Amino acid sequence: MWDLAQHLLSSVGSHLTEEGASQWAAIAKRLEQGQGLEEALTTIALTDELHRVLTRQVAIRILESEAVALQEIMQASYDPPLTRLLRHLLRVTDVANVITTNYDRLIEYSAARGAVRVNTMFAGSPFGFLDESESANECRRFKRIAGARQRWETSIVPHVCLSKPHGSLDWYQTGDAGGPVMQSQVSVGDQAPLIVSPGDGKLRLGYETPFDLQRNRANQAIDRASGLLILGFGFNDDHLQVHLKARYSRVPSVILTRDLTLAAHQYLEASSGQSIALSAGAGGSGTELTTSIGSQRISDLNLWQLDTFLREVLAA
């Protein structure tokens, strides 16, 4: 968030009119004093102009980071960690439910690198249209059964069912506010993608289409889960917390993260011993294992890093 805040401080002001600039100056002052980005943006009701500019600038910064990551994924001489994880999950199930609050497409790129199909709720190419049923059909095989009567046999192609309740860098509103939502792999001029930006964006957009559909699917996946693997999540998202809290003490979970937040500790305490967290040891090296009853250093290996966890724990 610090890098994103610095980008916003250097870019937002020049795109605003006088009213928006005045409001942004008050927010910028809080950021310069060390206040967190999310907190600074929720202390005031943003004007439509400021919200629009913020969303666009957030997208620009995330796109820059995504481009670097995409190059690494494409040029790597071995499958990246996320690719290996998705393949590993699909060895034991036909559908792996994945939820991300990130806007980038690293999951989609990692899946493509491993020839893993993804149900994003969008169907078609080069522009995808929002249709949950058609997107699901793209992950099915249809085989005609020989005989006097025409019959078809349907089977599921192993795939990832991806939910992005905060939006994605490739979602765009077409036409006016009532136009259909489309998916585009290339940026659409100066138009901001459909993402729930930090601050009051969660209240503005969180219950509108397509965010509501994605959130509902994510919540249903949590409700049905028999286990949870949680990567780098701070447990500070109200949209998902209600359903996560209901599963704390019912299903086992493993958390991989560099630093455990206070909310993550509360999750562990409420899990009745069902959950463990692997985080960085003192000085950022080694692994600290934390449960509801305490913590201890368990390894000189960085098991909290996905690559090491896959290799040393899952043999993937």
Residues sharing a CB contact under 8 Å with residue 307, sequence separation 6 or more, in sequence order: 81
> Cα(315)–Cα(91) distance, rounded to whole angstroms?
13
> Cα(124)–Cα(170) distance, rounded to whole angstroms?
13
User: Per-residue DSSP letters for 174-200?
Assistant: -SSTTSPEEEESS--TTPPPSB--SST
Phi, psi of 53 (to 5 degrees): -65, -40
Joined together, the tokens standing for residue 307 give 């690559």
Of 28, 23, 25, give the one whose Cα is nearest residue 49: 23
Of 237, 288, 297, give the one whose Cα is nearest residue 258: 288
CA distances from residue 135 to 102, 120, 123, 152, 283 in whole angstroms, order as listed? 21, 7, 5, 19, 45
Reported as a single tens digit per residue, the pLDDT across 225-281 is 999 999 999 887 776 788 888 887 889 999 999 999 898 998 898 888 889 999 999
- Give the three-class secondary structure for 31: helix
Q: Would you write out the chain's pLDDT as a tens digit for each of its 316 residues? A: 788 999 999 999 999 998 889 999 999 999 999 888 888 888 788 888 998 999 999 999 999 999 999 999 999 999 999 999 999 999 999 999 999 999 999 999 999 999 999 999 999 888 899 999 999 999 999 888 877 677 888 899 999 999 999 999 999 998 876 789 999 988 888 888 999 988 765 555 667 889 999 999 999 999 999 999 999 998 877 767 888 888 878 899 999 999 998 989 988 988 888 899 999 998 888 999 999 999 999 989 999 999 999 999 999 8
**HSE-up of 175 (CA within 13 Å, CB side)?**
5
Q: Is the pTM of this model over 0.75?
A: yes
**Does residue 303 come out as left (phi exceeding 0), alpha (psi in the -120 to 50 range) or beta?**
alpha
What single-letter amino acid sits at 52?
R
Of 261, 231, 225, give the one whose Cα is nearest residue 244: 225
> Cα(268)–Cα(118) distance, rounded to whole angstroms?
31
> Cα(239)–Cα(202) distance, rounded to whole angstroms?
9
- Give the three-class secondary structure for 228: strand
- Give the three-class secondary structure for 250: coil
- Cβ neighbourhood burial of 298 (10 Å; 0-12, 13-18, 19+): middle
Q: Are 306 and 81 in contact (CB under 8 A)?
A: yes
Q: Are 285 and 266 in contact (CB under 8 A)?
A: no
